[in-house]
Amino acid sequence: MSDTGKPPAGMPGAGKPGAGTPGAGTLDAEMRDAGMPNADKTDPGAPGAGKPGTGKPDAGKPDVAHSDPGKHAPGQVPEPHAAAPCPASFAPDPPPQTATRALRAAMPALQAAGVSDAPRDARRLLAHAMGLAPDRLTLHLSDPLTPDQSAAFQAALAARRRRQPVSQIIGSRSFWGRSFRVTRDTLDPRPETETLIEAALAAPFRQVLDLGLGSGCILLTLLAERPEACGLGTDISPAALAVAQGNAQDLGLGQRARFAVSDWWGGVMGQFDLIVSNPPYIAMSEMAALAPEVRDWEPRLALTPGDDGLSPYREIARGALAHLAPGGRLIVEIGPTQARAVSGYFTEAGLISPRVLQDLDGRDRVVLAHRG
């Protein structure tokens, strides 16, 4: 598939999920890191690791527990008394499962469900279930899980086996160093969108408009990075806007951000010195090839406009001149095959100096142009 997919993670061919991610190593490596040279031998939760009270008389041996040792046949050595099995009510509880064993046990089912980087995802889900930052998990690999932690981890694994994205399961995603709440109503912020952020921050601005706000990751990052700026974020989805508003509050940006439900320019008034957008740009014909995490769990509205993927750019170009202040910039994210078409729309609309920028993988990712 040509890469018009938003998602780097989970998209066919886009795949760099977790590559080189710290902490994406094997469990054995993690156990070594955690000072557990051979966790299988040291884990008290290991099956058959000598649990007291569970011993049964060896099969095939006579059960002499209740026989009279004095009545053996001449020359026959009496069997020592075998310990009577404990009644179930007296058997001690099995020791709680450690984080390492929980991770190890999670792997086969995740892999069978087609999860491409099962160790990385299991770690993130377990860290979340244990209430730990992901980079702290290694220090707690030998900790026993509480029943609540265990239940939370199992629920998260079940969701991941249904291919729900990790960010939706844990409810947040890190973007440009900040945490954004993510739900089924918002696109999961993607690392390649940081290319647009970099371009936007390369010149000053005071009034910024974000068309198709989603979680608010673009607008709110720009406001957080430029304390003197104010912004308006719009989206056709009221549910997405509500998430973005919550993120604005959480990041302490509520005073500088306004929000409006709008079909592209429909609800937008005034002029801005910076307009940004990451519109839905996947062609309808490409939807079926998306990974289940994307196709089945992310909002369709955020993925595709339902046509060739270019109609939002035509709309955005049409209204841009009227809403850009003199000298103002328009910056949009694109799919890697769309640079020529989008640059053409911007030029036809009267914008000048269109430029195309590449993401870290060298793919066309951003088009920007100015009002003269």
Binding positions for ligand SAM, rule: CB under 6 A: 6, 187, 189, 193, 212-215, 217-218, 234-237, 240, 262-264, 278-280, 301-302
Query: Judging by DSSP bridges, how do beta strands 324-333 and 364-370 pair with one another?
Result: antiparallel
Q: Give the length of the chain.
A: 372
3-state secondary structure of 56: coil
Helix axes 238-250, 217-225, angle to 10 degrees: 30
H or E element, residue 118? helix 118-129
Nearest to ligand SAM by Cβ — which residue?
Answer: 214
Looking at the Cβ atoms of 21 and 183, the one nearer to ligand SAM is 183
**Amino acid at position 60, single letter:** G
- CB 192 within 8 Å of CB 359: yes
Distance CA(16)–CA(363), nearest Å, equals 13
- Classified as helix, coil or strand, 274 is strand
Nearer to ligand SAM, 119 or 191 (CB): 191
Burial class of 299 by CB neighbour count within 10 A (0 to 12, 13 to 18, 19+): middle
Residue 168 or 278: which CB sits closer to ligand SAM?
278
Q: Which is nearer to ligand SAM, 6 or 124 (CB)?
A: 6
Minimal distance in Å, beta carbon 342 to ligand SAM?
Answer: 14
Distances (CA, A) of 324 to 42, 110, 271: 65, 48, 5
Q: Minimum distance between the CB of residue 272 and ligand SAM, rounded to whole angstroms?
A: 16
> Within 10 A of 22 (CB to CB), how many other CB atoms are there?
9
Please state the separation of Cα 245 from the chain's center in Å: 20
Q: How far is the CB of 326 from ligand SAM (least distance, A)?
A: 25
Compute the least distance from the CB of residue 266 to ligand SAM, in Å. 8
Closest separation in Å from C-beta 56 to ligand SAM: 58
Q: Is 103 helix (H, G, I), strand (E, B) or coil?
A: helix
Instruction: For the CB of residue 5, give the shortest distance to ligand SAM in the complex, in Å.
Output: 10
Question: Which lies closer to ligand SAM via its Cβ, residue 102 or residue 320?
Answer: 320
Residue among 67 and 249 whose Cβ is closer to ligand SAM? 249
